[in-house]
Structure 1
Amino acid sequence: MSCAGSLPIALDSITQDSEAILEDLGRMLAIDTCFPPGSGYPAFADLMQNLLEPMGFTFSRVVVPESLWQTPDGSAQGERVNLIASLDSGASEACNLYFHVDTVPAGDGWNYPPLALTQVGDKLIGRGSADMKGTIAATLAALRAAQRMKLALQFNPVLLLCTDEEGGLYPGVRYLAEQQLFSGHLLSFNGGAVPRIWGGCFGSIDLKVTVTGRSAHSGDPVGGINAIEHSLPLLNALNVLKTEVEQRTSAMPAPPHFQGQPLTSRLTLAAVQGGSKGSTIPARFDLLINRRYSPEEPFEAVWDELTSCIDQAMAGSAALNVEYHLIGHLAPVSDPTGPHWPRWLAALSQGFGFDANDFAVWGSSTSSDMGWVQQAGIQEILLGGLARPENRIHASDEFTTRQDVVALAQSILSYLAADFHH
């Protein structure tokens, strides 16, 4: 692999761009785009237009209709603004650079402000720093370097800044793909800073169950129906089903840290809520079930198995009502490889210093909204990002590092530059 022209100088200049990188990332982290509820999307789109307009980008705002993403529990709130930012660099082919702009909620246990950038040594701490606002900052740094050196580009960059990846019922990129609002291959930054050839990923279902009883005084419970206690058969049945589900293996290659063990399907009792105080019989019990399913498992079969388990477990219950709703769904991804992968692997090697022999194919039982992109007809999906096992993604004190942001920016610039040879 070799670089020609001004590309080496442009790559080196990214290491001197720390001040702008930190300023961009700090402004992004300060906007609360957590999902649920997802109410910060319009403000984030405003910020991105402000950052990209001086570079010559043009914009299209696409709002996902509320009828598609709203759930019965009302946990999602606010306009679902997706931003498509396009730069005509004179290239003959586009590359779609995908980012989800939502984060999980900050949660508990932080030692630093979650909605601000805190630097501790080389760590860049804040909710979304690694997953995945830091990847947007890296992309902006790559584009600035290209424009500073007036590099010709191999691809016209199209940035897809999308909503509701974090378990949403109807992710924004699904809507963009189904409406055919972009075309060509796609580079997703929902991956890691690792020498990985993406082998695909599992699908994910979030199903919420609500059991309704009748409140009463716990010391005089005549006429009361305890929603929590009447849900015990359901919890037991789901625990039995969990054992069955997690025996099912996938042919998808497992990550290296699985140490030779296969990827398996997953069922998790993810959240419960019910009751308020000791003197009252609880009238309501809410249960959130997460089910990760492999590409070998048809969605319809997974859904039927889950709902049949609920129906059978609660068939003899005296509860007044049992309802369940799908509140989040990501389709699985299978074989996202294609003709652009060799160039992307070479670009990753340029940025992160990987050797060609370091790369391996593996999938994951985590999930991505890229399954919907495949179902809409775009098969090839490149993968990169900032995730590392130690980054505390979805946990308190999430962080990335300055070195990884610079390395990813150098990888992106290499991939986009016309005089990058591999």
Structure 2
Amino acid sequence: MTNQPPIRQDTLTSAMAAIERDVEIAVQDLARMVSVDTSFPPGEGYGPFADLMTNLLAPLGFDFKRVTLPRELWHVEGGPASGERVNLVASRQTGKPVCGLYYHVDTVPVAPGWTRDPLSLTVEGDKLYGLGAADMKGTIAATLLALRAAKGCGVPLAYDPMLLLCTDEEGGLYPGIRYLAEQGMLKGHILNFNGSAAPRIWAGCFGIFNLQVTITGHAVHAGEGNRTGAGVNAIEGALPVLNALAALKPEVAKRASKLAPPPHASGPLQPSLTIAAVNGGTAGGQVPAELKILVSRRYAPEENYDEARAEIEAAIGSAIAGSDLKLAIDLVGHLIPTDDPDGPHWPRWQQALSEGFGYRPEDFRKWGAASCSDFGYVQKAGFGPEILLGGLGRPESCIHSPEEHTTRQDIIKLAKSILAYLAADFAADAIPETRHS
């Protein structure tokens, strides 16, 4: 029965039409979301974004809980993060099974190269440009579009949706979803929208950690820089460190993971080391006393975090040995690998994606990614292991790059997929909670 076309009830048909009719409301919602700067670092826009989402979701009958992470969990002295870590949980409790809908609300910072205002949604034809438009505020807009259509057309739902609007996925030390999982606040199973607009079955992903390397010298007037016993130039002294990291980079990249690569990949998934940021110095008239280097290391599930970190620290320590510089290395971000999140809800989610995006059953492939997720912590906390995956990401979406964008059509397609999955009348014989009752 599960391979047959789903039964389309009149209310569900009407709601699907309402999604297409009302897409401009979703575009307006997305514009409001993009205008709230939630970039991490530093992550100072989480409170205002939670206020906006409360305003948008209240008419749909949700109850709200704001969960603020304790500062001692995420704060690193001199690190990149600042501001309250406000997570918003929006839920409706009618006695049905719960389906969690997860979104990280943070974006990466604005990168050089934007020709449009990244914090103001720019509409050009079908394309919607703005920071976080695809990753992943557009997925929230699609969810709102689906839920409004369901309410307006009286679509009976199989699940009570619980929206999880969480902080610090983009490289934070303690992501909000980790805290919610550890506090036992998650229920049911979860749809994670931090994925791609592709017929993909999630096989798991890499981990990532970010180290802030602080190299400290001694500042003096630049005119005294050559005097014996004068200043210690942190930037010049750091050059051997940068060279050591650059030499380690290709050695890391020689390794390969057994995790299934995407269909479009040219080879196996490989770990990587990146010098992600370098900041130091003040003025031409002063010997620079401090340099901060952000080192980002993506590691395969087969690798050991402690060993990967020790390898980097050993290279840095050897490069700076014998100098007058001081060294500090702080962990400022860490996402652990996510294991294969398979489970009984995946077949119906595939049907829902096919309903929205037009995929065929034979289009679906199971693969992992060298990109990372905060859901390794969710699994480690004992939730799951099943986690579904969807989203708006496409190779041409410019995620994490200038001119990030999504499209009206993809928002419509994702909204239809979400509506189908939540609807009680869609592929009802494939709902595990009903089938096993």
Question: What is the TM-score with the length of structure 2 in the denominator?
Answer: 0.93
- Map 1:284-323 → 2, pairs under 5 A: 284-319=290-325, 321-323=326-328
Following TM superposition, by how much is the alpha carbon of 1:236 offset from its aligned partner in structure 2, in angstroms?
2.2
Matches within 5 A, 1:18-97: 18-91=23-96, 93-97=97-101
Q: What residue identity is the alignment partner of 2:232?
A: I
Structure 1 residue 361 and structure 2 residue 366: aligned? yes
Alignment correspondent of 1:256: 263
The answer to whether the 8 Å contact 1:89/1:153 transfers is no
Determine helix, strand or coil for the equivalent of 2:231: coil
Determine helix, strand or coil for the equivalent of 1:228.
helix
2:212 partner amino acid: K
Q: Residue in 1 aligned with 2:433?
A: none
Counterpart residue number, 1:195: 199
Question: Aligned AA for 1:242?
Answer: K
Paired residue total: 419
Identify the residue that residue 224 of structure 1 maps to in structure 2. Answer: 231
Structure 1 unaligned runs (5+)? none
Instruction: Tell me the residue number matched to 1:235.
Output: 242
Q: Could you list the per-position Cα deviations for residues 195-223 of structure 1 after superposition, in whole angstroms to 9, with x for gaps in the alignment?
A: 11111111011101111112234443221
What amino acid is aligned across from residue 122 of structure 2 in structure 1?
T
Does structure 2 retain, via aligned residues, the 8 Å contact 1:131–1:387? Answer: yes
Q: Distance between the aligned counterparts of 1:381 and 1:327, measured in 2?
A: 26
- Aligned partner of 1:211 in structure 2 is 215
1:244 corresponds to 2:251? yes
> Which segments of 5 or more consecutive residues in structure 2 lack a partner in the other structure?
431-437
What does residue 125 of structure 2 align with? 121
**1:365 offset after TM fit, Å?**
0.8
What secondary structure sits across from 1:291 in the alignment? strand
Q: How much does 1:316 deviate?
A: 1.8
What SS does the aligned partner of 1:322 have? strand
> Residue in 2 aligned with 1:402?
408
Q: Distance in 2 between matches of 1:219 and 1:26?
A: 52
Q: 1:48 to 1:255 in 2, by over 3 A?
A: same
Q: Larger deviation: 94-103 or 302-311?
A: 302-311
Where in structure 2 are the equivalents of 1:149-164 lying within 5 Å? Answer: 149-164=153-168
Equivalent residues of 2:134, 2:392 under 8 A apart? yes
The yes-or-no answer on 1:142 pairing with 2:154 is no
Contact 1:193 1:388 in 2 (8 A): yes
Deviation at 1:418, TM superposition (A): 0.6
Q: What SS does structure 1 have at the residue aligned with 2:264?
A: helix
In structure 1, C-alpha distance between the alignment counterparts of 2:27 and 2:130, rounded to whole Å? 12
The counterpart of 1:418, out of the listed 421, 424, 427, is 424
State the Cα distance separating 1:292 from its structure 2 match: 0.2
CA distance in structure 2 between the partners assigned to 1:375 and 1:155 by the alignment: 25
Contact 2:79 2:332 in 1 (8 A): no
- Is residue 15 of structure 1 aligned with residue 20 of structure 2? yes
Tell me, yes or no, if the aligned pair for 1:36 and 1:76 is still in contact at 8 Å: yes
Which of residues 93, 97, 102 is equivalent to 1:98? 102
User: Per-residue deviation at 1:74?
Assistant: 4.3
Paired with 2:63 and 2:221, the residues of 1 have a C-alpha distance of 62
- 1:26 and 1:266 map into 2 onto residues whose CA distance is 35
The offset of 1:183, in angstroms, is 2.1
Q: Aligned pair in 2 of structure 1 residues 240, 108: CA closer, same or farther (>3 Å)?
A: closer
Q: Structure 2: which amino acid aligns with 1:290?
A: S
- Equivalent-residue separation in structure 2 for 1:240 and 1:332 (angstroms): 25
* AA matched with 2:120: A
1:371 aligns with 2:376: yes
SS in 1 for 2:329: strand
**Deviation string, structure 1 residues 6-53 (Cα, Å, up to 9, x no partner):** 212211220001231112111111111111111111111111111111
1:341 is the counterpart of 2:346? yes
Superposed CA offset, 1:135-174 (max 9, x none): 0010011111111121111111000000111111111001
Aligned partners of 1:278, 1:30: CA distance in 2, in Å? 37
Encode CA deviations 1:267-325: one digit per residue, 9 max, x unaligned: 01111122234443221121110000011112222222222222222222221x10010
RMSD value, Cα: 1.4
TM score, norm. by length of structure 1: 0.96
**Secondary structure in 2 matching 1:78:** coil
| Equivalent pair of 2:80/2:332 in contact (CA under 8 Å) | no
Does the CA-based 8 Å contact 2:191-2:387 persist in structure 1? Answer: yes
3-state DSSP of counterpart to 2:21: coil
Structure 1, residues 348-407: CA drift from partner, whole Å, max 9, x if none? Answer: 000000111111111111111111111111211110000001111111221100000000
Alpha-carbon contact 2:241-2:320 (below 8 Å) kept:
yes
Aligned mates of 2:68, 2:317 — CA distance in 1: 36
Q: Distance in 2 between matches of 1:58 and 1:101?
A: 19
- What is the SS of the residue equivalent to 1:257? coil
- Output the amino acid matched with 2:316: I
Question: 1:314 and 1:251 mapped to 2: Cα distance?
Answer: 35
Q: Distance in 2 between matches of 1:24 and 1:291?
A: 35
Deviation track 1:60-88 (CA, whole Å, cap 9, x = no partner) reads 11110011111222422211111110022
